[in-house]
Amino acid sequence: MPIKWSTLKVSEAADMIERYVNQAAEPLEQALIVAEEARSIPDIPQYVSQHFGALMVEITRAIGGSQYEPEGRLRSRINKIRESLPKDAVEAEQKLVSLGNQQSLI
């Protein structure tokens, strides 16, 4: 049974999302550094330090960088999208597109 949706468009969307995530990763890594430094402010109350710690955990989960989530949740979700595509379907659709639009006889 032929696929009625465009695996190529899905793949391209995943690629675009990944580019944006990669662009966002550097500022988030900088935010992680600032939060870590903020935790070492002299005489900072523990309850405030805990908020910075929780923020650091969320940033790390999003972009990765821990031994538990090396690729981060965002990149993991993007990879799940790619893994859900039928094997070789993107390449087959790319070949069809490169050949140009042809009318179907069916």
Q: Residue 50 falls within a domain, yes or no? A: yes
Could you give the number of structural domains in the chain?
A: 1
Q: Residue 98 falls within a domain, yes or no? A: no
Range of the domain at 41: 7-86
The rounded distance, in Å, linking the Cα atoms of 70 and 8 is 27
What pLDDT band is residue 95 in, cutting at 50, 70 and 90? confident
Q: Residue 16 falls within a domain, yes or no? A: yes
The rounded distance, in Å, linking the Cα atoms of 70 and 86 is 26
The rounded distance, in Å, linking the Cα atoms of 92 and 86 is 10
The rounded distance, in Å, linking the Cα atoms of 76 and 85 is 15
Q: State yes or no: pLDDT of 60 exceeds 80.
A: yes
What pLDDT band is residue 102 in, cutting at 50, 70 and 90? low
Q: Residue 65 falls within a domain, yes or no? A: yes
DSSP assignment letter at 86: P
* pLDDT tens string 7-31: 999 999 999 999 999 999 999 999 9
Mean pLDDT of 28-54: 97
Mean pLDDT of 23-40: 95
Model pTM score: 0.75
